[in-house]
A and B are shown apart, each in its own frame.
Chain A
Amino acid sequence: MEEKLGLPYAAAPVTPRRRRLPKRWYAHVILITAIIITGFPVYYAAVVATQSNTQVFNYQLTPSTYLERNWDLVIHERQLPRYMLNSVIVALVMTTGKAVLSLLAGMAFVFFRIPGKWLIFGFVLITLMMPTEVMAIALFRLVGVELQWGGYDAMIVPFIASATGSFLFRQHFASIPGELSEAAQIDGANPLQFLWYVLIPISWNAIAALFVIQFLYAWNQYLWPLMVIHETTLKPVQLGLRSLRSGTETGDSFGPLMLGAVLASIPPLVVFLALQKQFMSGFALTRDK
């Protein structure tokens, strides 16, 4: 792998692939128990997705035949794909933006001499402790009322800088020996070339780790879009799911709602599975402080 450029953790050997299955049966037992317990709610949601309300009310725990009807409602009438697309766009743009800005900031913090650098770094670092949720109302006064944003802009721009990311890349770059940037300068590379040809290629694991975490963050956003997005065609998936739920007067239709919930959980799962390996090593690297 690329990160074997003298990084402290790359050398740490992973447990040899010895198969000692008979000795580790208990691990399977514990894992399967854990999966049965944590998996039951997901299983039940998936089962309900195939049922009519009547069957739900009768506590039927096996799949039924209403999947097609629920599918039709969720996909065609309530336009879940549209909401999913919105969320994918927002999550991708936000995550990519975070990666770009954080890479730039991380590079500036490590490879440049800036007057008052510690002050600037402190300014960024303190925002780790300033959760947006607490200031949602004030943020709405700015983004919604003053700037009058109400679309992708409102969902993406305020979150496109990341203290976590800046910190992550600063730490990661700090562990890179100075010889590397010296060599790059001798070769006549300017800082952006250095970033593009050297830093990014050795940072894929950290980028992937940031990507997974931030993608999930963006995908699960609920409170903020609830306040700022009022155009049906722009709603992200978590708000779209809300429209599958009925709070007033008649009973909920659980089948379509659960089908939507299960479908909405697939993209983040895919992202995770695709980047699983990089994610694992990416965060192993950040242990180094």
Chain B
Amino acid sequence: MRKTFLVLTLLLLAGLTLLAPVQAQGCSAEAPCEIDALIGFTDHRLDWAVERAVEFGEMFPQYVVNIESFSDYEPLLDSYILSQEQGNPPEIMQLFEVGTQFAIDSGYFKPASDIIAGRDEVLGQPVDFDDIIPVVSSYYTIGGDWSSVAWNTSTPILYANLNILGEAGIMDLPTTWQGVEAACEQLQPMVDAGSIAGCIVWPNHGWFYEQWLAQQNTELVNNGNGREGRPTQVLLSSEASLNIVQWHKDMYEKGYYAYSGKQRDWSGAVQAFNSQQLPMIMTSSASAGGIMRNAGENGVEVGTSNMVYDEEVGWTGNILGGATMWITDGLEPEIEEGAMAFLLFFSNTENSATWHQVSGYVPVRNSSVALLEEQGWYEENPNFLTASIQLGESQVTIATQGAIFGTFVETRNIITQAIEDAMLTGGDVAEIMAAAEEEANVLLEEYNLLYVDE
């Protein structure tokens, strides 16, 4: 036993002297440069990304792309910031849309336009940003410049279990709030009989609130939704805002909305739908891949329609969701080139098309859509077209372009909390939203104190 102890002590010393990997000089097939890329998926979407990384490595043996995965966007962002502060950031990160302003303010990233610097190819990978669909370019470009490379783009849509709806005699999928309420009324006997657990679910997440705000053509922050200047006010007490929260609350109180009690419970919501506990779910179009696969395995017929809107106000459009890929500033030029080439490869016409087929994310290139049409994909899989139609038919207004401000990530959580409070505490919606607005404004003010030059 004493010997074991000695061995362990030596191990301790060895452990303390383990050094960080030595930085390679120059990239070659013998000593390839490592490019770390963080992405926020751990499922089949991770597998897809890893396959592309391997392909890229075969094309460019001087690089190795390591995909590192996270369960969600927020922990990914946390991890990136922490590793930046530790002085050892990864080369590429995937950042969700609401982090855009923070990313620009942080100074951590080099704008994609600066890296490309007007070239039409990087290491032979063509740059063709004109091919990107308008809804994506209008969200992510500021003054015509791309700060990041577009990748996964989604929008919420409604999925319905047609077997269950059929049993209740519902033939048409609802497209409006009022339609959902009517369908839920019809489904109620089945809920009472215990054959289903409720009518509809969507994750309680500020994203849906933002979408409904855009549908009603209302801005989230002042100064042109943050696109005309630094916003100074978050606007949570608008008529449209109260309308959304009130409807959410009503749906819950009538027993139609099946809340899991957990905020941002994406997986729980999908699980409830997949296990046929709930006949309808509103969630990201990116769930189409998983939901359709599950439906196929279980012999369930699933239909989709647009994200429901308030008939009394009308529909202006939806905002995109999803994320883009950012390249860290201060990389060795050779590594920076490799990182950019990888991202261009990652999002080229063919890859955008297969990415869509695997996941359900909207193809971000016009050429990919054309390719998919050519292959007859949409005819065979009409549910994969719903999201593209919804985004394509959206009017471009300040509201539907989406807000840009530095505390968007935190504000989204405040909104999510406020909606939960409205549902579960039975409090007055206007009061709850006024308190949330104050909280969000304090955060924004503090952020501006630390980031914005006076």
Q: A–B direct touch, CB within 8 Å, in complex?
A: yes
Please give the residue numbers on chain A whose beta carbons come within 8 Å of chain B beta carbons, in ascending order.
53-54, 57-59, 77, 89-90, 92-93, 96-97, 99-100, 140, 144-145, 148-153, 156-157, 200-201, 204, 207, 226-228, 230-232, 242-253
Please tell me which stretch of B4-12, B171-179, B228-236 contacts chain A, meaning at least 4 of its Cβ atoms lie within 8 angstroms of it: B4-12
Asked if B72 contacts A247 (CB within 8 A), the reply is yes
Contacts of B80 in A (CB 8 A): 230
Minimum CB–CB distance for A245 against chain B, Å:
5
Q: Which of B8, B18, B283 contacts A249 (CB 8 A)?
A: B283
Minimum CB–CB distance for A146 against chain B, Å:
10
List 8 other contacts, CB 8 Å, given A150-B83, A153-B18, A251-B271: A57-B271, A92-B11, A96-B9, A100-B9, A140-B82, A148-B86, A152-B16, A243-B71
Asked if A152 contacts B18 (CB within 8 A), the reply is yes
Q: Which of B73, B87, B264, B274 contacts A148 (CB 8 A)?
A: B87
Asked if A201 contacts B72 (CB within 8 A), the reply is no
Complex: chain A residue closest to B40, CB-CB: A248
Q: Which of A59, A228, A242 contacts B86 (CB 8 A)?
A: A228
A93-B11, A96-B12, A148-B87 known; A248 vs B82 contact (CB < 8 Å) = no
Asked if A53 contacts B85 (CB within 8 A), the reply is no
Contacts of B72 in A (CB 8 A): 247-248
Contacts of A244 in B (CB 8 A): 42
How long is the Cα–Cα vector from A247 to B298 in the complex, in angstroms?
23
Contacts of A58 in B (CB 8 A): 275
Complex: chain A residue closest to B72, CB-CB: A247
Asked if A92 contacts B73 (CB within 8 A), the reply is no
A96-B11, A201-B2, A250-B289 known; A144 vs B86 contact (CB < 8 Å) = yes
Asked if B85 contacts A248 (CB within 8 A), the reply is no
Asked if A54 contacts B20 (CB within 8 A), the reply is no
Beta-carbon contacts under 8 Å, B30-74 to A? 36, 40-45, 47, 66, 68-73
Asked if B267 contacts A247 (CB within 8 A), the reply is yes
Asked if B294 contacts A53 (CB within 8 A), the reply is yes
Q: Does B142 contact A (CB under 8 A)?
A: no
Asked if B270 contacts A249 (CB within 8 A), the reply is yes
Q: Does B290 contact A (CB under 8 A)?
A: yes
Asked if A248 contacts B274 (CB within 8 A), the reply is no
Asked if A249 contacts B42 (CB within 8 A), the reply is no
Contact with A along B272-288 (1 / 0, CB 8 A): 00111000000110110
Q: Which of B12, B71, B83 contacts A230 (CB 8 A)?
A: B83
Contacts of A92 in B (CB 8 A): 8, 11
Contact with A along B228-271 (1 / 0, CB 8 A): 00000000000000000000000000000000000010110011
Contact with A along B102-122 (1 / 0, CB 8 A): 000000000000000000000
Complex: chain A residue closest to B87, CB-CB: A148
Contacts of B24 in A (CB 8 A): none
Asked if B68 contacts A252 (CB within 8 A), the reply is no
Asked if B270 contacts A250 (CB within 8 A), the reply is yes
Contacts of B375 in A (CB 8 A): none
Minimum CB–CB distance for A104 against chain B, Å:
12
Complex: chain A residue closest to B285, CB-CB: A249
Complex: chain B residue closest to A208, CB-CB: B1
Minimum CB–CB distance for A236 against chain B, Å:
13
Q: Which of B8, B45, B274 contacts A57 (CB 8 A)?
A: B274
Please give the residue numbers on chain B whose beta carbons come within 8 Å of chain A beta carbons, in ascending order.
1-2, 5, 8-9, 11-12, 15-16, 18, 20, 36, 40-45, 47, 66, 68-73, 75, 79-80, 82-83, 85-88, 90, 154, 264, 266-267, 270-271, 274-276, 283-284, 286-287, 289-291, 294, 297-298
Asked if B286 contacts A250 (CB within 8 A), the reply is yes
Complex: chain A residue closest to B283, CB-CB: A249
A57-B271, A246-B41 known; A230 vs B11 contact (CB < 8 Å) = no
- Going nearest first, the 6 A-B pairs with the smallest beta carbon separation are A57-B275, A250-B290, A247-B72, A93-B15, A230-B83, A96-B8
Q: List 7 A-B residue pairs with CB atoms under 8 Å apart, sorted by A's residue number.
A: A54-B298, A93-B12, A93-B15, A204-B1, A227-B82, A247-B264, A249-B286
Asked if A251 contacts B15 (CB within 8 A), the reply is no
Asked if B69 contacts A248 (CB within 8 A), the reply is no
The SS class assigned to the A binding surface is helix
Asked if A249 contacts B271 (CB within 8 A), the reply is no
A148-B88, A156-B16, A232-B66 known; A246 vs B267 contact (CB < 8 Å) = yes
How long is the Cα–Cα vector from A204 to B79 in the complex, in angstroms?
41
How long is the Cα–Cα vector from A95 to B82 in the complex, in angstroms?
27
Complex: chain A residue closest to B276, CB-CB: A57
Minimum CB–CB distance for B85 against chain A, Å:
5
Contacts of B9 in A (CB 8 A): 96, 100
Q: Which of B16, B42, B154, B276 contacts A245 (CB 8 A)?
A: B42
Q: Which of A151, A242, A249 contacts B266 (CB 8 A)?
A: A249
Contacts of B70 in A (CB 8 A): 242-243
How long is the Cα–Cα vector from A129 to B73 in the complex, in angstroms?
35
How long is the Cα–Cα vector from A244 to B41 in the complex, in angstroms?
10
How long is the Cα–Cα vector from A227 to B270 in the complex, in angstroms?
29
Contacts of B83 in A (CB 8 A): 150, 230
Minimum CB–CB distance for B321 against chain A, Å:
9
Contacts of B154 in A (CB 8 A): 249
Minimum CB–CB distance for A192 against chain B, Å:
13
How long is the Cα–Cα vector from A99 to B85 in the complex, in angstroms?
32
How long is the Cα–Cα vector from A226 to B83 in the complex, in angstroms?
11
How long is the Cα–Cα vector from A105 to B88 in the complex, in angstroms?
36
Most chain-B Cβ atoms within 10 A of its Cβ — which of A243, A247, A249? A249
Contacts of A227 in B (CB 8 A): 82
Asked if B69 contacts A53 (CB within 8 A), the reply is no
Minimum CB–CB distance for A121 against chain B, Å:
25
Asked if B1 contacts A150 (CB within 8 A), the reply is no
How long is the Cα–Cα vector from A242 to B72 in the complex, in angstroms?
10
Minimum CB–CB distance for B277 against chain A, Å:
9
Complex: chain B residue closest to A57, CB-CB: B275
Contacts of B86 in A (CB 8 A): 144-145, 148-150, 228, 230
A96-B11, A145-B85, A243-B71 known; A250 vs B267 contact (CB < 8 Å) = yes
Asked if A97 contacts B88 (CB within 8 A), the reply is no
Contacts of A200 in B (CB 8 A): 2, 5
Asked if B287 contacts A250 (CB within 8 A), the reply is yes
Contacts of A54 in B (CB 8 A): 274, 294, 297-298
